[in-house]
Amino acid sequence: MSNTPASSGTAQSPSCNTASAAPSDTASGGNSSTPAPRLASDSVASASGAFPASVTPISTLTPVPADLTPFNTLGLRSRAEHYVRIDDPAQLPALSALAARHGRVLVLGGGSNMVLPAEVNGLVAHMALRGVRLVEQRADAWIVEAAGGEVWHDFVQSCLAQGWDGLENLSLIPGTVGAAPVQNIGAYGVELDSRFESLTAWDVTKREWVHMDRADCRFAYRDSRFKHETAGRWIIVAVRFALPRPWRPVLDYPDLQRHAGLAEATAAGAPARLSARSIADAVCDIRRAKLPDPARIGNAGSFFKNPIVDTAQREALAARFPGLVSYAQPDGRYKLAAGWLIDQCGWKGRSLGAAGVHERQALVLVNRGGAQAADILALARAIQADVQARFGVALEAEPVVVGG
């Protein structure tokens, strides 16, 4: 799927409780016919709303050449000859017409989970739909809807400001709301699918609105159906989240338990003293300590998924490597820390040409200046080969690799 979370060119906001100034972008997904999105009249975002009560199609949409370098957080030099920006659902029928002529559509969000080639062929649709609203206040959940182009971290912050808690563990993840279901983002003990209610999308091929619930999306670890279907078919226009009431903190992740700001309450057995805001602040502290800011050095965040193995393989590896870092999963399998595997192979801080591995986090590949897609992918392949040779474990890349 060629859409990915991220605020254009910057993965981190200046502070955890301050919205970033990054431009808006979106992503894609969908199935089963539904009406056009409604006006976000209860919007708490700095936007006029992305959900009109009735959509009068805009008949024309004119592609232009564009430099995509600012729109991917790896900072890879990239250009498109046919680029359109979508900031109104009324443009989507015209986008379908363009897609039929070009035959290929790259749906671009913020580009934080994407490896772009020097030249992108076909049509590039850059999503910028905005709007946030409270749909329903149920006894068990707040139902909150956000347009696909909302910057993810800003959306999380606006929810916290309104008292709609439940997304705090996902603070500071680069990206847009619309791209989050594509990747099924997750961090610090919370996965998006555990907070997901439904989404509204545009089917580019059939030229109709669609509605999809959690089962339709076929979520898995950092995966969804959208990664396995025709790229550019689905445009995620809006996503609805069910944020649990009453709120309960999720503090299972070791980094949260070790964080100085949370340790006292955790040690005292008094998680009720914690607030969603304090957890969000802790998550931001942890992420900033571990992950580089793309505004300073190009990167796509964690480049590899943490591999999941069965108990027998985990026990065999632990016998050979006593320091093995692994986490038990609900299904009885184990998730291995990919960063630890890469570090053990000696890659942390190393480079191949203009591409390198970050000095503090072995999961993060960086653009040291002037790197292109081929450089990043060559480094990724070298790391995968070494991990496979030493541990017998296959590493899978997280970012979408876009063909030229």
Position 58: which residue type?
I
Sheet holding 334-336, edge to edge: 308-309, 334-336, 326-328
pLDDT of residue 404: 65
Do 320 and 341 touch, CB atoms closer than 8 A? no
Contacts of 236 (CB under 8 A, 6+ apart): 3, 26, 27, 28, 29, 30, 148, 177, 178, 179, 181, 182, 199, 200, 201
- Of 224, 302, 314, 326, which is the active-site residue? 302
Do 404 and 119 touch, CB atoms closer than 8 A? yes
- Of 222, 233, 287, 314, which is the active-site residue? 222
**Averaged confidence pLDDT in the chain:** 86
Beta bridge partners of 213: 198
Across residues 253-282, what is the average pLDDT?
Answer: 81
Do 175 and 5 touch, CB atoms closer than 8 A? yes
**pLDDT band for position 266 (cuts 50, 70, 90):** low
Per-residue pLDDT tens digits for 32-79? 444 444 433 333 333 333 344 445 777 679 999 999 999 999 999 999
Do 153 and 172 touch, CB atoms closer than 8 A? yes
pLDDT of residue 53: 43
**pLDDT band for position 264 (cuts 50, 70, 90):** confident
Q: Using the predicted structure, report yes or no on whether residue 172 has a pLDDT greater than 90.
A: yes
Q: Using the predicted structure, report yes or no on whether residue 261 has a pLDDT greater than 50.
A: yes
pLDDT of residue 95: 96
Per-residue pLDDT tens digits for 330-372? 899 999 999 999 999 999 999 999 999 999 999 999 999 999 9
Reply yes or no: is the peptide bond before residue 246 cis, omega within 30 of 0.
yes
Is 171 known to be catalytic?
Answer: no
Q: Using the predicted structure, report yes or no on whether residue 126 has a pLDDT greater than 60.
A: yes
Per-residue pLDDT tens digits for 91-115? 999 999 999 999 889 999 889 889 9
Do 180 and 5 touch, CB atoms closer than 8 A? yes
- Output the six-digit token pair for 97: 């017409």
Position 139: which residue type?
A
Across residues 121-140, what is the average pLDDT?
Answer: 95
pLDDT of residue 290: 87
Q: Using the predicted structure, report yes or no on whether residue 278 has a pLDDT greater than 60.
A: yes
Contacts of 296 (CB under 8 A, 6+ apart): none
Per-residue pLDDT tens digits for 220-250? 989 999 988 888 899 999 999 999 999 999 9
Residue 332, number of CB atoms within 10 A of its CB: 8
Asked which of 166-175, 185-194, 264-273, 381-390 is least confident by mean pLDDT, the reply is: 264-273
Contacts of 362 (CB under 8 A, 6+ apart): 339, 340, 342, 343, 347, 348
Is 43 known to be catalytic?
Answer: no
Asked which of 105-114, 149-158, 260-269, 294-303 is least confident by mean pLDDT, the reply is: 260-269
**Proportion of the chain above pLDDT 70, given as a percent:** 84
Is 96 known to be catalytic?
Answer: no
Stated length of the chain: 404
SS (H, E, C) 64-79: EEEECHHHCCCCCCCE
| Distances in whole angstroms, Cα of residue 44 to Cα of each of 130, 178, 244, 260 | 11, 17, 19, 32
Residue 187, number of CB atoms within 10 A of its CB: 18
pLDDT of residue 94: 95
